[in-house]
Structure 1
Amino acid sequence: MKLRIATYNIHKGMSATGREPRVHALRSAIHDLQADLVFLQEVQGRHDRLLQRFGQHPPGPKHWPQESQHEFLAGAHLHTAYGKNAIYRDGHHGNALLSAYPIVSALNNDVSDHAFEQRGILHCVLQTPQQDLHCYVVHLGLFAGSRQRQTDALIEVVQSTAGDSPIIIAGDFNDWRNHLGDALRNQLGVIEVFDERRSTPRLGSLWRNLAGRTNVQRFVPARTFPAALPWLRLDRIYCRGFIVEQAQVLRGQPWSQLSDHAPILAELRLDG
Protein backbone atom coordinates (compact mmCIF):
# COMPACT_ATOMS: atom_id res chain seq x y z
CA MET A 1 0.00 0.00 0.00
CA LYS A 2 1.25 3.46 -0.92
CA LEU A 3 0.09 6.64 0.78
CA ARG A 4 0.43 10.25 -0.28
CA ILE A 5 0.18 12.38 2.85
CA ALA A 6 0.51 16.03 3.81
CA THR A 7 0.63 18.09 6.98
CA TYR A 8 -0.38 21.74 6.99
CA ASN A 9 -1.02 24.49 9.53
CA ILE A 10 -3.68 26.49 7.66
CA HIS A 11 -3.70 29.59 9.93
CA LYS A 12 -7.49 29.44 10.40
CA GLY A 13 -8.08 29.89 6.67
CA MET A 14 -6.56 33.37 6.61
CA SER A 15 -3.50 34.79 4.88
CA ALA A 16 -0.17 35.06 6.69
CA THR A 17 -1.05 38.66 7.63
CA GLY A 18 -4.49 37.59 8.92
CA ARG A 19 -6.26 40.15 6.74
CA GLU A 20 -7.48 38.17 3.73
CA PRO A 21 -9.55 34.97 3.66
CA ARG A 22 -7.83 32.08 1.89
CA VAL A 23 -10.18 29.20 2.59
CA HIS A 24 -11.39 28.78 -1.03
CA ALA A 25 -7.86 28.80 -2.41
CA LEU A 26 -6.83 26.40 0.37
CA ARG A 27 -9.51 23.90 -0.64
CA SER A 28 -8.44 24.06 -4.27
CA ALA A 29 -4.74 23.67 -3.42
CA ILE A 30 -5.33 20.80 -0.98
CA HIS A 31 -7.46 18.89 -3.47
CA ASP A 32 -4.84 19.44 -6.19
CA LEU A 33 -2.37 17.53 -3.97
CA GLN A 34 -4.45 14.36 -4.46
CA ALA A 35 -3.31 13.26 -1.02
CA ASP A 36 -4.79 10.23 0.72
CA LEU A 37 -4.35 11.87 4.14
CA VAL A 38 -4.05 15.53 5.12
CA PHE A 39 -3.16 16.41 8.72
CA LEU A 40 -4.40 19.95 9.46
CA GLN A 41 -3.76 22.35 12.32
CA GLU A 42 -5.46 25.65 13.25
CA VAL A 43 -8.73 24.55 11.66
CA GLN A 44 -11.79 26.55 12.64
CA GLY A 45 -14.77 24.43 13.56
CA ARG A 46 -16.83 27.56 14.20
CA HIS A 47 -16.04 31.10 13.13
CA ASP A 48 -18.94 33.49 13.77
CA ARG A 49 -16.88 36.69 13.56
CA LEU A 50 -15.33 35.82 10.20
CA LEU A 51 -18.66 34.54 8.90
CA GLN A 52 -20.25 37.86 9.84
CA ARG A 53 -17.38 39.79 8.24
CA PHE A 54 -17.02 37.85 4.99
CA GLY A 55 -20.18 35.74 4.72
CA GLN A 56 -22.16 38.47 2.96
CA HIS A 57 -19.81 38.51 -0.02
CA PRO A 58 -21.14 36.82 -3.17
CA PRO A 59 -19.59 33.39 -3.80
CA GLY A 60 -15.90 33.88 -4.52
CA PRO A 61 -12.49 34.06 -2.83
CA LYS A 62 -13.74 36.35 -0.05
CA HIS A 63 -16.95 34.47 0.68
CA TRP A 64 -16.77 32.67 4.03
CA PRO A 65 -18.41 29.21 3.99
CA GLN A 66 -21.24 28.41 6.38
CA GLU A 67 -19.93 24.97 7.36
CA SER A 68 -16.91 24.20 9.52
CA GLN A 69 -13.55 24.45 7.78
CA HIS A 70 -12.74 20.74 7.98
CA GLU A 71 -16.06 19.88 6.34
CA PHE A 72 -15.60 22.58 3.70
CA LEU A 73 -12.04 21.46 2.90
CA ALA A 74 -13.02 17.78 2.78
CA GLY A 75 -15.81 18.39 0.30
CA ALA A 76 -17.90 15.43 -0.82
CA HIS A 77 -15.04 13.01 -1.47
CA LEU A 78 -13.01 12.85 1.75
CA HIS A 79 -13.81 11.60 5.25
CA THR A 80 -12.96 14.01 8.06
CA ALA A 81 -12.52 14.20 11.83
CA TYR A 82 -12.03 17.27 14.01
CA GLY A 83 -10.61 17.82 17.48
CA LYS A 84 -11.74 21.03 19.20
CA ASN A 85 -8.91 22.62 21.21
CA ALA A 86 -9.18 26.41 21.61
CA ILE A 87 -12.63 27.76 22.48
CA TYR A 88 -13.49 31.47 22.44
CA ARG A 89 -16.55 33.67 22.35
CA ASP A 90 -17.12 33.61 18.58
CA GLY A 91 -15.90 30.13 17.77
CA HIS A 92 -13.27 27.45 18.23
CA HIS A 93 -10.38 25.84 16.38
CA GLY A 94 -8.27 22.71 16.60
CA ASN A 95 -6.78 19.86 14.56
CA ALA A 96 -8.41 17.89 11.76
CA LEU A 97 -7.76 14.94 9.51
CA LEU A 98 -8.94 14.59 5.91
CA SER A 99 -8.87 10.99 4.72
CA ALA A 100 -9.59 9.04 1.57
CA TYR A 101 -10.20 6.02 3.85
CA PRO A 102 -13.08 5.59 6.29
CA ILE A 103 -12.37 6.90 9.79
CA VAL A 104 -13.68 4.20 12.12
CA SER A 105 -12.92 6.10 15.34
CA ALA A 106 -11.67 9.52 16.40
CA LEU A 107 -10.74 10.80 19.85
CA ASN A 108 -9.26 14.16 20.81
CA ASN A 109 -6.80 14.05 23.74
CA ASP A 110 -6.46 17.31 25.68
CA VAL A 111 -2.78 18.01 26.34
CA SER A 112 -3.14 21.67 27.35
CA ASP A 113 -0.30 22.57 29.68
CA HIS A 114 -1.47 25.94 31.00
CA ALA A 115 -4.41 28.33 30.77
CA PHE A 116 -2.99 30.42 27.91
CA GLU A 117 -2.70 27.66 25.27
CA GLN A 118 -5.23 24.94 24.49
CA ARG A 119 -3.63 21.99 22.69
CA GLY A 120 -4.78 18.54 21.67
CA ILE A 121 -3.75 15.30 19.97
CA LEU A 122 -6.40 14.00 17.55
CA HIS A 123 -6.16 10.20 17.29
CA CYS A 124 -7.96 8.59 14.34
CA VAL A 125 -8.13 4.94 13.32
CA LEU A 126 -8.51 4.46 9.56
CA GLN A 127 -9.82 1.41 7.77
CA THR A 128 -7.50 0.67 4.84
CA PRO A 129 -7.57 -2.34 2.48
CA GLN A 130 -4.52 -3.82 4.22
CA GLN A 131 -5.07 -3.11 7.92
CA ASP A 132 -6.11 -0.45 10.39
CA LEU A 133 -3.88 2.63 10.45
CA HIS A 134 -3.44 4.85 13.51
CA CYS A 135 -3.01 8.58 12.77
CA TYR A 136 -2.23 11.34 15.28
CA VAL A 137 -2.65 15.02 14.42
CA VAL A 138 -0.45 17.19 16.64
CA HIS A 139 -0.06 20.88 17.46
CA LEU A 140 2.30 21.48 20.37
CA GLY A 141 2.79 24.60 22.49
CA LEU A 142 5.02 27.63 22.16
CA PHE A 143 7.00 27.03 25.36
CA ALA A 144 9.79 24.45 25.59
CA GLY A 145 8.63 22.95 28.88
CA SER A 146 5.08 22.56 27.57
CA ARG A 147 6.29 20.90 24.39
CA GLN A 148 8.33 18.38 26.35
CA ARG A 149 5.39 17.45 28.58
CA GLN A 150 3.07 17.28 25.56
CA THR A 151 5.56 15.01 23.78
CA ASP A 152 5.57 12.73 26.84
CA ALA A 153 1.77 12.69 26.66
CA LEU A 154 1.90 11.92 22.93
CA ILE A 155 4.19 8.95 23.56
CA GLU A 156 1.82 7.67 26.24
CA VAL A 157 -1.22 8.05 23.96
CA VAL A 158 0.45 6.19 21.10
CA GLN A 159 1.76 3.40 23.32
CA SER A 160 -1.66 2.88 24.88
CA THR A 161 -3.65 2.89 21.62
CA ALA A 162 -1.63 1.68 18.63
CA GLY A 163 0.15 -1.44 19.87
CA ASP A 164 2.48 -2.60 17.08
CA SER A 165 0.30 -1.19 14.29
CA PRO A 166 1.62 1.18 11.63
CA ILE A 167 1.33 4.79 12.74
CA ILE A 168 1.64 8.29 11.30
CA ILE A 169 2.16 11.29 13.59
CA ALA A 170 2.12 14.67 11.87
CA GLY A 171 1.59 18.31 12.60
CA ASP A 172 3.07 21.53 13.93
CA PHE A 173 5.50 20.60 16.71
CA ASN A 174 6.86 24.16 17.18
CA ASP A 175 10.17 22.37 17.78
CA TRP A 176 12.50 24.88 16.15
CA ARG A 177 15.42 23.74 18.35
CA ASN A 178 14.90 20.11 17.31
CA HIS A 179 14.80 18.69 20.84
CA LEU A 180 11.81 16.31 20.67
CA GLY A 181 12.53 13.89 17.85
CA ASP A 182 14.98 11.62 19.68
CA ALA A 183 12.42 10.68 22.35
CA LEU A 184 9.85 9.83 19.67
CA ARG A 185 12.35 7.72 17.74
CA ASN A 186 13.63 5.89 20.79
CA GLN A 187 10.29 5.20 22.49
CA LEU A 188 7.96 4.76 19.52
CA GLY A 189 10.32 3.41 16.86
CA VAL A 190 9.32 6.11 14.36
CA ILE A 191 11.30 7.85 11.66
CA GLU A 192 10.78 11.37 10.34
CA VAL A 193 10.32 11.73 6.61
CA PHE A 194 13.46 13.86 6.27
CA ASP A 195 15.66 11.66 8.47
CA GLU A 196 18.00 10.72 5.64
CA ARG A 197 19.20 14.31 5.59
CA ARG A 198 21.84 14.63 8.28
CA SER A 199 23.53 17.73 9.65
CA THR A 200 27.17 18.39 8.86
CA PRO A 201 29.30 17.89 12.00
CA ARG A 202 30.16 21.24 13.56
CA LEU A 203 33.59 22.23 14.80
CA GLY A 204 32.64 21.34 18.39
CA SER A 205 31.56 17.86 17.28
CA LEU A 206 34.83 17.34 15.43
CA TRP A 207 36.77 18.43 18.51
CA ARG A 208 34.85 15.92 20.64
CA ASN A 209 35.72 13.24 18.09
CA LEU A 210 39.40 14.08 18.36
CA ALA A 211 39.04 13.89 22.13
CA GLY A 212 37.76 10.33 21.78
CA ARG A 213 34.08 11.05 22.29
CA THR A 214 31.38 9.65 20.03
CA ASN A 215 30.06 12.05 17.44
CA VAL A 216 26.26 11.77 17.14
CA GLN A 217 24.94 13.42 14.01
CA ARG A 218 21.64 15.19 14.40
CA PHE A 219 18.66 14.53 12.17
CA VAL A 220 17.60 17.66 10.31
CA PRO A 221 13.89 18.38 9.76
CA ALA A 222 12.77 20.63 6.94
CA ARG A 223 12.26 24.40 7.14
CA THR A 224 8.57 25.28 6.92
CA PHE A 225 8.07 28.71 8.54
CA PRO A 226 7.39 31.41 7.48
CA ALA A 227 5.86 30.19 4.22
CA ALA A 228 7.19 33.08 2.12
CA LEU A 229 10.79 32.30 3.09
CA PRO A 230 10.93 29.16 5.26
CA TRP A 231 13.58 29.32 7.96
CA LEU A 232 12.30 27.66 11.15
CA ARG A 233 11.85 23.88 11.34
CA LEU A 234 8.40 23.60 12.93
CA ASP A 235 6.44 20.89 11.12
CA ARG A 236 7.05 17.14 11.07
CA ILE A 237 5.76 13.84 9.73
CA TYR A 238 6.81 10.80 11.78
CA CYS A 239 5.86 7.27 10.77
CA ARG A 240 6.35 3.65 11.78
CA GLY A 241 5.86 0.62 9.55
CA PHE A 242 6.43 2.61 6.36
CA ILE A 243 9.26 3.24 3.92
CA VAL A 244 9.62 6.91 2.95
CA GLU A 245 9.83 7.10 -0.83
CA GLN A 246 10.03 10.89 -1.05
CA ALA A 247 9.31 14.04 0.93
CA GLN A 248 9.26 17.73 0.11
CA VAL A 249 8.27 21.12 1.45
CA LEU A 250 5.86 22.90 -0.91
CA ARG A 251 7.27 26.37 -1.53
CA GLY A 252 6.43 29.22 -3.85
CA GLN A 253 3.01 29.87 -5.36
CA PRO A 254 0.33 29.28 -4.28
CA TRP A 255 1.61 28.06 -0.90
CA SER A 256 3.47 31.22 0.06
CA GLN A 257 0.17 33.14 -0.06
CA LEU A 258 -2.17 30.68 1.64
CA SER A 259 -0.88 30.43 5.22
CA ASP A 260 2.06 31.38 7.42
CA HIS A 261 3.34 27.77 7.24
CA ALA A 262 4.46 25.80 4.21
CA PRO A 263 3.01 22.27 3.95
CA ILE A 264 5.02 19.04 3.85
CA LEU A 265 4.09 16.38 1.29
CA ALA A 266 5.41 12.82 1.53
CA GLU A 267 4.91 9.48 -0.19
CA LEU A 268 5.04 6.40 2.02
CA ARG A 269 4.94 2.68 1.26
CA LEU A 270 3.78 0.13 3.78
CA ASP A 271 6.81 -1.89 4.83
CA GLY A 272 6.18 -5.56 4.17
Structure 2
Amino acid sequence: MKTFKVATYNIHKGVQGHGPARRLEIHNLGLAVEQFDADVVCLQEVRAFNRQQARRFKHWPQQGQADFLAPEGYTPVYRTNAITQHGEHGNALLSRWPVLEHRHEDMSDHRLEQRGLLHATLQLQARELHVIVMHLGLLPGSRMRQTQQLHDFIMREVPADAPLLVAGDFNDWGSAVSHKMADVGLHTNTGKKHPTFPARLPLAQLDHVYARGLHRLGSQVPRGPIWRRMSDHLPLLVEFAWDAP
Protein backbone atom coordinates (compact mmCIF):
# COMPACT_ATOMS: atom_id res chain seq x y z
CA MET A 1 0.00 0.00 0.00
CA LYS A 2 1.55 3.27 -1.14
CA THR A 3 -1.16 5.63 0.11
CA PHE A 4 -3.59 5.59 3.01
CA LYS A 5 -6.35 7.74 4.49
CA VAL A 6 -6.71 9.13 8.02
CA ALA A 7 -9.81 10.72 9.55
CA THR A 8 -10.11 12.74 12.74
CA TYR A 9 -13.49 13.61 14.25
CA ASN A 10 -14.76 15.05 17.54
CA ILE A 11 -18.10 13.22 17.84
CA HIS A 12 -19.48 15.23 20.80
CA LYS A 13 -20.23 12.03 22.75
CA GLY A 14 -22.74 10.88 20.12
CA VAL A 15 -25.45 13.34 21.20
CA GLN A 16 -26.47 16.72 19.77
CA GLY A 17 -28.92 19.48 20.68
CA HIS A 18 -29.99 20.90 24.04
CA GLY A 19 -32.71 20.18 26.59
CA PRO A 20 -35.78 18.33 25.29
CA ALA A 21 -34.42 18.70 21.73
CA ARG A 22 -31.35 16.56 22.46
CA ARG A 23 -31.06 13.75 19.97
CA LEU A 24 -28.97 10.61 19.65
CA GLU A 25 -26.61 10.75 16.66
CA ILE A 26 -24.37 7.76 17.35
CA HIS A 27 -26.11 5.59 14.72
CA ASN A 28 -25.63 8.25 12.03
CA LEU A 29 -22.02 8.61 13.17
CA GLY A 30 -21.54 4.88 12.61
CA LEU A 31 -22.66 5.29 9.00
CA ALA A 32 -20.38 8.31 8.64
CA VAL A 33 -17.32 6.38 9.86
CA GLU A 34 -18.05 3.63 7.34
CA GLN A 35 -18.36 6.26 4.60
CA PHE A 36 -14.92 7.68 5.42
CA ASP A 37 -13.36 4.43 4.17
CA ALA A 38 -10.28 5.56 6.13
CA ASP A 39 -7.50 3.23 7.20
CA VAL A 40 -7.14 5.01 10.54
CA VAL A 41 -9.97 6.89 12.31
CA CYS A 42 -9.09 9.11 15.29
CA LEU A 43 -12.01 10.09 17.51
CA GLN A 44 -12.42 12.48 20.43
CA GLU A 45 -15.22 12.84 23.02
CA VAL A 46 -16.03 9.14 22.81
CA ARG A 47 -18.14 7.64 25.59
CA ALA A 48 -17.26 4.32 27.17
CA PHE A 49 -20.62 4.43 28.95
CA ASN A 50 -23.06 6.91 30.43
CA ARG A 51 -25.87 5.71 32.69
CA GLN A 52 -27.94 8.89 32.39
CA GLN A 53 -27.91 8.91 28.57
CA ALA A 54 -28.57 5.17 28.46
CA ARG A 55 -31.78 5.75 30.46
CA ARG A 56 -32.84 8.71 28.34
CA PHE A 57 -32.33 7.28 24.84
CA LYS A 58 -34.17 4.09 23.93
CA HIS A 59 -31.61 3.08 21.30
CA TRP A 60 -28.45 3.87 23.28
CA PRO A 61 -25.89 1.20 22.25
CA GLN A 62 -25.03 -1.54 24.70
CA GLN A 63 -21.38 -1.36 23.60
CA GLY A 64 -18.94 1.43 24.28
CA GLN A 65 -18.97 3.95 21.44
CA ALA A 66 -15.52 2.97 20.09
CA ASP A 67 -16.64 -0.65 19.66
CA PHE A 68 -20.01 0.43 18.29
CA LEU A 69 -18.47 2.75 15.67
CA ALA A 70 -15.76 0.36 14.46
CA PRO A 71 -16.64 -1.02 11.00
CA GLU A 72 -16.26 -4.75 10.43
CA GLY A 73 -12.59 -5.69 10.25
CA TYR A 74 -11.35 -2.68 12.23
CA THR A 75 -9.63 -2.88 15.60
CA PRO A 76 -11.01 -0.35 18.12
CA VAL A 77 -8.80 1.12 20.85
CA TYR A 78 -10.26 3.36 23.56
CA ARG A 79 -8.67 5.05 26.58
CA THR A 80 -10.46 7.20 29.17
CA ASN A 81 -9.64 10.88 29.66
CA ALA A 82 -12.49 11.99 31.93
CA ILE A 83 -14.55 10.31 34.63
CA THR A 84 -17.87 12.03 35.30
CA GLN A 85 -20.84 11.51 37.61
CA HIS A 86 -22.67 9.25 35.15
CA GLY A 87 -19.86 7.67 33.12
CA GLU A 88 -16.60 8.33 31.32
CA HIS A 89 -15.29 9.49 27.94
CA GLY A 90 -11.98 9.82 26.12
CA ASN A 91 -10.12 9.26 22.85
CA ALA A 92 -10.44 6.32 20.46
CA LEU A 93 -8.66 4.94 17.43
CA LEU A 94 -10.15 2.58 14.84
CA SER A 95 -7.58 0.81 12.68
CA ARG A 96 -7.74 -1.39 9.60
CA TRP A 97 -4.22 -2.51 10.47
CA PRO A 98 -3.03 -4.62 13.40
CA VAL A 99 -2.47 -2.69 16.62
CA LEU A 100 0.84 -3.75 18.15
CA GLU A 101 0.48 -1.79 21.39
CA HIS A 102 -1.23 1.23 22.87
CA ARG A 103 -0.92 3.42 25.95
CA HIS A 104 -2.44 6.48 27.59
CA GLU A 105 -0.95 9.54 29.25
CA ASP A 106 -2.86 11.96 31.45
CA MET A 107 -2.57 15.53 30.13
CA SER A 108 -4.90 17.27 32.58
CA ASP A 109 -3.59 20.78 33.21
CA HIS A 110 -6.06 21.82 35.92
CA ARG A 111 -8.91 20.25 37.86
CA LEU A 112 -11.72 21.60 35.63
CA GLU A 113 -10.56 19.82 32.44
CA GLN A 114 -9.60 16.15 32.28
CA ARG A 115 -7.48 15.55 29.17
CA GLY A 116 -5.25 12.81 27.84
CA LEU A 117 -3.52 11.32 24.83
CA LEU A 118 -3.85 7.88 23.27
CA HIS A 119 -0.73 6.48 21.59
CA ALA A 120 -0.96 3.41 19.36
CA THR A 121 1.63 1.61 17.24
CA LEU A 122 0.19 0.09 14.06
CA GLN A 123 1.71 -2.57 11.80
CA LEU A 124 1.45 -2.48 8.01
CA GLN A 125 3.52 -5.26 6.52
CA ALA A 126 7.14 -4.36 7.33
CA ARG A 127 6.29 -0.81 8.44
CA GLU A 128 5.26 0.57 11.80
CA LEU A 129 3.20 3.74 12.12
CA HIS A 130 2.84 5.63 15.40
CA VAL A 131 -0.46 7.47 15.92
CA ILE A 132 -1.31 9.82 18.79
CA VAL A 133 -4.92 10.93 19.34
CA MET A 134 -5.46 13.94 21.57
CA HIS A 135 -7.87 16.69 22.63
CA LEU A 136 -6.21 19.84 23.97
CA GLY A 137 -7.62 22.19 26.59
CA LEU A 138 -9.74 25.30 26.18
CA LEU A 139 -7.23 27.72 27.77
CA PRO A 140 -4.28 29.01 25.71
CA GLY A 141 -1.80 28.42 28.53
CA SER A 142 -3.05 24.86 28.98
CA ARG A 143 -2.62 24.14 25.28
CA MET A 144 0.98 25.32 25.31
CA ARG A 145 1.84 23.23 28.36
CA GLN A 146 0.05 20.20 26.90
CA THR A 147 1.87 20.62 23.59
CA GLN A 148 5.18 20.66 25.46
CA GLN A 149 4.10 17.51 27.31
CA LEU A 150 3.33 15.95 23.92
CA HIS A 151 6.84 16.83 22.72
CA ASP A 152 8.35 15.19 25.79
CA PHE A 153 6.18 12.09 25.27
CA ILE A 154 7.27 11.78 21.62
CA MET A 155 10.94 12.12 22.56
CA ARG A 156 10.50 9.38 25.15
CA GLU A 157 8.18 6.94 23.37
CA VAL A 158 8.51 7.34 19.58
CA PRO A 159 11.71 6.44 17.68
CA ALA A 160 13.14 9.49 15.94
CA ASP A 161 13.02 7.81 12.51
CA ALA A 162 9.48 6.41 12.86
CA PRO A 163 6.57 7.80 10.80
CA LEU A 164 4.24 9.65 13.18
CA LEU A 165 0.72 11.10 13.07
CA VAL A 166 -0.77 13.33 15.78
CA ALA A 167 -4.49 13.85 15.21
CA GLY A 168 -7.33 15.39 17.13
CA ASP A 169 -9.13 18.50 18.33
CA PHE A 170 -6.49 21.09 19.22
CA ASN A 171 -8.92 23.86 20.24
CA ASP A 172 -6.58 26.48 18.76
CA TRP A 173 -8.26 29.34 16.87
CA GLY A 174 -4.89 30.76 15.83
CA SER A 175 -1.54 29.24 14.90
CA ALA A 176 0.28 28.97 18.24
CA VAL A 177 -0.05 25.19 18.45
CA SER A 178 0.93 24.70 14.79
CA HIS A 179 4.11 26.75 15.29
CA LYS A 180 5.02 24.76 18.37
CA MET A 181 4.34 21.45 16.60
CA ALA A 182 6.56 22.50 13.70
CA ASP A 183 9.45 22.86 16.17
CA VAL A 184 9.54 19.05 16.40
CA GLY A 185 8.94 18.37 12.70
CA LEU A 186 5.17 17.89 12.86
CA HIS A 187 3.22 19.71 10.17
CA THR A 188 -0.45 20.11 9.31
CA ASN A 189 -1.95 21.27 6.01
CA THR A 190 -0.15 24.33 4.68
CA GLY A 191 -1.73 27.11 2.68
CA LYS A 192 -5.44 26.45 2.41
CA LYS A 193 -7.30 26.07 5.70
CA HIS A 194 -10.04 23.50 6.24
CA PRO A 195 -12.50 24.96 8.80
CA THR A 196 -14.12 22.29 10.99
CA PHE A 197 -15.83 24.31 13.75
CA PRO A 198 -18.59 25.12 14.43
CA ALA A 199 -20.18 22.54 12.15
CA ARG A 200 -23.17 24.72 11.22
CA LEU A 201 -20.99 27.61 10.07
CA PRO A 202 -17.33 26.54 10.05
CA LEU A 203 -15.03 29.45 10.90
CA ALA A 204 -11.86 27.84 12.25
CA GLN A 205 -9.85 24.68 11.76
CA LEU A 206 -9.64 23.26 15.27
CA ASP A 207 -9.09 19.70 14.04
CA HIS A 208 -5.76 18.66 12.52
CA VAL A 209 -3.69 15.69 11.46
CA TYR A 210 -0.03 16.57 12.05
CA ALA A 211 2.54 14.33 10.36
CA ARG A 212 6.23 13.50 10.42
CA GLY A 213 7.98 11.18 7.97
CA LEU A 214 4.93 11.02 5.67
CA HIS A 215 3.91 12.87 2.52
CA ARG A 216 0.54 14.66 2.65
CA LEU A 217 -1.38 14.31 -0.63
CA GLY A 218 -4.56 16.21 0.18
CA SER A 219 -7.22 17.05 2.76
CA GLN A 220 -10.97 17.48 2.73
CA VAL A 221 -13.84 18.31 5.06
CA PRO A 222 -17.23 16.74 4.20
CA ARG A 223 -20.03 19.26 4.07
CA GLY A 224 -23.81 19.20 3.83
CA PRO A 225 -26.88 19.08 6.10
CA ILE A 226 -26.23 15.63 7.54
CA TRP A 227 -22.67 16.55 8.56
CA ARG A 228 -23.89 19.73 10.27
CA ARG A 229 -26.29 17.82 12.53
CA MET A 230 -24.16 14.90 13.78
CA SER A 231 -21.62 16.85 15.88
CA ASP A 232 -20.52 20.39 16.68
CA HIS A 233 -17.35 19.62 14.65
CA LEU A 234 -16.92 18.48 11.06
CA PRO A 235 -14.57 15.58 10.31
CA LEU A 236 -11.22 16.08 8.59
CA LEU A 237 -9.96 13.48 6.08
CA VAL A 238 -6.33 13.43 4.98
CA GLU A 239 -4.58 11.20 2.44
CA PHE A 240 -0.91 10.33 2.92
CA ALA A 241 1.86 8.51 1.09
CA TRP A 242 4.86 6.86 2.69
CA ASP A 243 8.08 8.81 2.35
CA ALA A 244 10.86 6.97 0.56
CA PRO A 245 12.96 4.88 2.99
Tell me if 1:141 matches 2:137: yes
Distance 1:154 1:16, change over 3 A: farther
Which residue of structure 1 lines up, in the alignment, with residue 100 of structure 2? 104
Tell me if 1:69 matches 2:69: no
* Alpha-carbon distance between aligned partners in 2 of 1:88 and 1:266, rounded to the nearest angstrom: 32
Distance 1:133 1:142, change over 3 A: same
The number of residue pairs the alignment matches comes to 240
Which residue of structure 2 lines up, in the alignment, with residue 216 of structure 1? none
Equivalent residues of 2:34, 2:71 under 8 A apart: no
Which residue of structure 2 lines up, in the alignment, with residue 204 of structure 1? none
Distance 1:160 1:16, change over 3 A: farther
Which residue of structure 1 lines up, in the alignment, with residue 6 of structure 2? 5
Which residue of structure 2 lines up, in the alignment, with residue 124 of structure 1? 120
Equivalent residues of 1:16, 1:259 under 8 A apart: no
Question: Aligned-pair distance for 1:242?
Answer: 1.2
Which residue of structure 1 lines up, in the alignment, with residue 30 of structure 2? 27
* Alpha-carbon distance between aligned partners in 1 of 2:27 and 2:226, rounded to the nearest angstrom: 12
Tell me if 1:168 matches 2:199: no
Question: Aligned-pair distance for 1:222?
Answer: 2.4
Letter in 2 for 1:258: M
Question: Aligned-pair distance for 1:16?
Answer: 4.9
Cα-to-partner distance string for 1:209-268 (whole Å, 9 max, x where unaligned): xxxxxxxxxxxx421111111012211110111111110112213211100000100110
Which residue of structure 1 lines up, in the alignment, with residue 239 of structure 2? 267
**Divergent runs of 4+, >3 A:** none
Equivalent residues of 2:53, 2:60 under 8 A apart: yes
Which residue of structure 1 lines up, in the alignment, with residue 41 of structure 2? 38
Equivalent residues of 1:185, 1:191 under 8 A apart: yes
* Alpha-carbon distance between aligned partners in 1 of 2:18 and 2:234, rounded to the nearest angstrom: 14
* Alpha-carbon distance between aligned partners in 1 of 2:240 and 2:173, rounded to the nearest angstrom: 24
* Alpha-carbon distance between aligned partners in 2 of 1:247 and 1:183, rounded to the nearest angstrom: 21
**Identity score, percent:** 43
In terms of Rg, which structure is larger?
1
Q: How does 1:246-261 map to 2 (within 5 A)?
A: 246-261=218-233
Equivalent residues of 1:44, 1:68 under 8 A apart: yes
Equivalent residues of 1:16, 1:258 under 8 A apart: no
Q: Counting strand residues as a fraction of each chain, which structure ranks higher? A: 2
Q: How does 1:230-249 map to 2 (within 5 A)?
A: 230-249=202-221
Letter in 1 for 2:109: D
Equivalent residues of 1:7, 1:237 under 8 A apart: yes
* Alpha-carbon distance between aligned partners in 2 of 1:232 and 1:165, rounded to the nearest angstrom: 30
Question: Aligned-pair distance for 1:75?
Answer: 4.0
TM-score by length of 2: 0.94
TM-score by length of 1: 0.85
* Alpha-carbon distance between aligned partners in 2 of 1:76 and 1:6, rounded to the nearest angstrom: 17
* Alpha-carbon distance between aligned partners in 1 of 2:171 and 2:213, rounded to the nearest angstrom: 25
* Superposed CA RMSD: 1.2
Equivalent residues of 2:82, 2:90 under 8 A apart: yes
Question: Aligned-pair distance for 1:65?
Answer: 0.4
Listed as ranges, the gaps of 5+ residues in structure 2 are none
* Alpha-carbon distance between aligned partners in 1 of 2:125 and 2:226, rounded to the nearest angstrom: 33
Letter in 2 for 1:121: L
Question: Aligned-pair distance for 1:76?
Answer: 3.3
